[in-house]
Amino acid sequence: MKLYDFKMAPNPRRVRMFLAEKGISYQQAGIEVVNVDIGKGETFSKEFKEISPYGGLPVLELDDGTRISESMAISRYFEELYPETPLMGTDAKSKALIEMWNRRLELGLYTAIAYSFRHGNPMWKPVTNQVAEFAEVSAENADKQIHKLNKHLAGSKYIVGDEFSVADITALCAIDFAKVIKRRIDEEKHPHLARWHKLVSERASSQA
């Protein structure tokens, strides 16, 4: 199969980290990487629109030609194929709680950062009706979400209790992505977030 990937973008990183955490070797799993350079606008091309009609990267192309986009859908595919080292929970309750936190992080933190970037950065102008005021409002929302996450992590080792999960991958990729809107972790203001960030950044998968 083929994995359409780009090293510098946060969503492809989520899938690479997921594979690394599960110990899936690209060679053994038969994954061939195809690089798509977002910086050069390659995701806006006609060719790429054929591969990903909703414009997203990464995309996993199976050997039968089926194309799966959306990081979480690709992650779920591998969670099903390789159930060892579960990252999406093991029973109804843990699966629901991991999905809940993953979504809170996506719909809150991640979306706020992405919207601020998309509406405020010239790179997105060709494909976005940019609203400068919304870029600012979104950056403020990102700050509120970071604050909220810091409070949550005061009482939780990982995003969902004592076990590392896909929600930690989403949170790490979002927090590190926030540099594009000039947000970095402030250890004084967000000690719990800083503690968690150090803990998950030390995992080998964070470099995948």
Residue at token pair 């199976």: 62
The smaller minimum CB distance to a second copy, of residues 42 and 99, is found at: 99
What is the closest distance, in whole angstroms, from the C-beta atom of residue 6 to a second copy in the complex?
A: 19
| Structure tokens belonging to residue 126 | 């060709």
| Vertex 163 angle, CA 161 and 169, to 5° | 100
Least Å distance, CB 207 to a second copy, is: 26
CA distance 78 to 137: 36
End-to-end CA distance of the chain: 19
Residue 196 sits at φ, ψ, to 5 deg, of -65, -40
Q: Which is nearer to a second copy, 80 or 162 (CB)?
A: 80
Minimal distance, residue 65 CB to a second copy, in Å:
12
CB of 95 or CB of 203, closer to a second copy: 95
Residues that bind a second copy in the complex, under the rule CB under 8 A: 53-54, 60, 62, 66, 68-70, 72-74, 76-77, 80-81, 91-93, 95-97, 99-100, 103-104, 108, 111, 129, 131, 133-134, 137, 140, 148
**Residue number, 59 or 178, with CB nearest to a second copy:** 59
Which SS3 state, helix, strand or coil, does residue 121 take? Answer: coil
